[in-house]
């Protein structure tokens, strides 16, 4: 399928998930006020999750939502798309880019935050920042690229990097357009 169509579809899926989370969480990010399972922070799996997620607490809400999205990403294989190492690595790579976009869109589209409050002092659950972005975003994009390394053994390195850069570029373009639309929408309301 065409790379642009796949990327656009994933972007619209990220918008829908961001809007769903906004409806669920409102102004309280990271499931702060949701009646969700929260294991003790001393458990080994909570500690492991916290290390992977830059200190974020494990919640049943996030664990099930991330699992569900990962399962959706694997639907093409259930429908008969060839399950090869290269296809799976691209799938996982897109998943990591997707979760960064999805998370950021929560801020872009959330009337309680908007882009103006996308700063460390307003976003308590993103504890570590690298300049103007949470370290999780840099980590997600980095993992997205690194997961492709094994596929570089069977396909040219330039092909793999080009595929990744095109996806990254398309996500950035869709995101910028969404930011502009959101700023226009919120400016009309005020």
**Which residues are paired to 133 by β-bridges?**
130
pLDDT digit string, tens, across residues 116-134: 888 888 888 888 899 999 9
pLDDT digit string, tens, across residues 101-118: 999 999 999 888 778 888
Judge whether 61 lies within some domain: no
Radius of gyration of the chain (CA): 17
Judge whether 167 lies within some domain: yes
Distance, in Å, from the CA atom of 31 to the CA atom of 119, rounded to the nearest integer, reads 19
The pLDDT value given to residue 96: 95
Distance, in Å, from the CA atom of 136 to the CA atom of 17, rounded to the nearest integer, reads 18
Query: How is residue 83 annotated by DSSP?
Result: -
Number of domains in the chain: 1
Judge whether 69 lies within some domain: no
Judge whether 94 lies within some domain: yes
Distance, in Å, from the CA atom of 188 to the CA atom of 167, rounded to the nearest integer, reads 32
Q: Average of pLDDT values for 138-150?
A: 94
Judge whether 40 lies within some domain: no
Judge whether 23 lies within some domain: yes
Distance, in Å, from the CA atom of 146 to the CA atom of 132, rounded to the nearest integer, reads 23
* Strand boundaries in the chain, DSSP class E: 129-130, 133-134
Is pTM beyond 0.85? Reply is yes
Judge whether 8 lies within some domain: yes
Judge whether 92 lies within some domain: yes
Q: Determine the structural domain holding residue 99 and report its residue range.
A: 3-31+82-189
Q: Average of pLDDT values for 85-105?
A: 95
């Amino acid at each position: 399928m065409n790379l642009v169509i796949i990327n656009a579809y994933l972007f619209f899926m990220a918008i829908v998930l961001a809007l769903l989370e906004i409806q669920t969480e409102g102004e309280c990010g990271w499931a702060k006020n949701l009646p969700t399972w929260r294991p003790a922070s001393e458990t080994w799996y909570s500690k492991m999750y916290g290390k992977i997620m830059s200190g974020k607490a494990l919640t049943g809400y996030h664990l099930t939502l991330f699992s569900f999205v990962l399962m959706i990403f694997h639907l093409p294989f259930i429908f008969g798309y060839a399950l090869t190492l290269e296809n799976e690595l691209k799938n996982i790579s897109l998943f990591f880019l997707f979760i960064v976009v999805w998370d950021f869109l929560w801020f872009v589209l959330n009337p309680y935050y908007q882009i103006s409050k996308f700063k460390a002092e307003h976003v308590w659950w993103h504890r570590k920042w690298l300049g103007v972005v949470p370290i999780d975003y840099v980590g997600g994009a980095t993992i997205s690229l690194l997961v492709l390394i094994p596929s570089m053994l069977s396909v040219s390195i330039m092909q793999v990097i080009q595929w990744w850069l095109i996806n990254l570029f398309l996500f950035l373009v869709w995101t910028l357009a969404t930011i502009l639309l959101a700023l226009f929408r919120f400016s009309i309301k005020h």
